Amino acid sequence: MRNLERRYRTLLRVLPRWYREDREEEMVGIFLAGRGDDLDLEHGWPGWGETGAVLGLAVRTHLAAGAGLTGVPVGAMWRGEVVRALGVIGLLLGVLGVGVSLAGMVYEAGHPELPGRDAVVVVVDLLPAVAFAALLAGKRTLAKSVAFAAAVPGLLAFGPQVGSWLMWQLPALVTFAALCLGFHREAPTPPAGRLAWWGGGALVLGLAGWVVPAAFVVVAALVVLRVVAFVRGDFVLGRALSLFAVLELGPVALLLAGGVRWWVVLVPAVLLVVSAVAPVRKPGFA
């Protein structure tokens, strides 16, 4: 085997094994068909464009959508659905934040002595709702772009306290990555009607987040949904919430730094750990 072929085969290892077993020989044949020069076969490398395209294919196959491919193992389909659910949960978290901001704006409007918000801040605060609506409308590129714009202030808040910043930002960063990776070209658009209700619920919970710390509201909602997912045997939602519970441990722990008593923080922390490790029921994948 020549070096170039070895390098292409190494590149193809980013693809899942089930896909490689079916396609590797065929793909290597195409890669090498246009590269017959002896020097190239010995010293050549896969181009950046080819590498990028294979990486894109790897994301789509590892996080497979049931309708987008044939012969997909059940595990790959589940993985894809869980990542997409985690991406949607991230957007719902953003919508909840919009509720908190709206409640704050209403309060400030009734108290003229308080300093008003800058127009840019108001727009940025509302962006998660736009991203969520865009995803429901099937405009996934727009949804990702707006979600990124909404995440920029958090990213720019990077400072000397890296640990605290990471703990606070991790849920937003990971769920944004899940949104980008999970909603690839072949992924289905989530059911708009059902998710609109979820978005409305998150907005209402956000309004409640003005009264009690939003982190507590998030934990309470997470625990309730986790129980519902278990009872209904919803593996995808259950697993996505487990992952999200792990991510939320950071923001809850940071409440300690905010002066909240340790025993008040202990309760949501324990609930998050239980949500993370609690079993999920795995029915047959429809």
Partner 1 sequence: MSEQTFLVLTALAEEPLHGYAIVQAVEQLSEGRMALRVGTLYGVLDRLVADGLAERDREEVHQGRLRRYYRLTDSGVRALQAEVARLSANVRAASAVLRARGLQPWASRA
Rounded-to-integer distance, Cα 37 and Cα 15, Å: 27
Which residue in the set 1, 70, 119, 163 belongs to the binding site for partner 1 (CB under 8 A)? 70
Rounded-to-integer distance, Cα 106 and Cα 270, Å: 34
Tokens of 247: 């991510």
The stretch among 54-62, 91-99, 134-142, 229-237 that binds partner 1 (CB under 8 A) is 54-62
Min dist CB 5 to partner 1, Å, is: 10
Min dist CB 256 to partner 1, Å, is: 47
Closer residue to partner 1, CB minimum distance, 33 or 120 = 33
Min dist CB 164 to partner 1, Å, is: 39
CB 103 within 8 A of CB 117: no
In this structure, which amino acid lies at residue 207?
Answer: L
- Is residue 26 a contact residue for partner 1 (CB under 8 A)? yes
Closer residue to partner 1, CB minimum distance, 29 or 116 = 29
The stretch among 62-70, 132-140, 158-166, 187-195 that binds partner 1 (CB under 8 A) is 62-70
Number of chain residues interacting with partner 1 (CB under 8 A) = 26
For CA atoms 68, 71, 77, 80, give the dihedral sign. negative
Min dist CB 67 to partner 1, Å, is: 6
Place of tokens 């953003």: 94
Interface mask toward partner 1 for 5-24; x: CB under 8 A: ------------------x-
Which residue in the set 4, 27, 63, 215 belongs to the binding site for partner 1 (CB under 8 A)? 27
Which residue in the set 17, 21, 42, 55 belongs to the binding site for partner 1 (CB under 8 A)? 55
- Is residue 41 a contact residue for partner 1 (CB under 8 A)? no
Q: What is the DSSP string of 121-134?
A: HHHHHHHHHHHHHH
CB 61 within 8 A of CB 16: yes
For CA atoms 256, 259, 166, 104, give the dihedral sign. positive
Angle at 42 between CA 39 and CA 43, to 5 degrees: 80
Min dist CB 10 to partner 1, Å, is: 15
Which residue in the set 6, 17, 43, 185 belongs to the binding site for partner 1 (CB under 8 A)? 185
Which residue in the set 37, 43, 45, 67 belongs to the binding site for partner 1 (CB under 8 A)? 67
| Pick from 70, 69, 36, 30: nearest CA to 50 | 30
- Is residue 60 a contact residue for partner 1 (CB under 8 A)? yes
Which residue in the set 34, 115, 279, 283 belongs to the binding site for partner 1 (CB under 8 A)? 34
Which residue in the set 1, 33, 119, 286 belongs to the binding site for partner 1 (CB under 8 A)? 33
CA 127 to mean position of chain CA atoms:
16
| Pick from 104, 99, 100, 127: nearest CA to 115 | 104
Which residue in the set 41, 69, 105, 208 belongs to the binding site for partner 1 (CB under 8 A)? 69
CB 268 within 8 A of CB 253: no
CB 64 within 8 A of CB 72: yes
Place of tokens 């009734």: 110
Footprint of partner 1 (CB under 8 A): 23, 25-34, 49-50, 52-57, 60, 67-70, 185-186
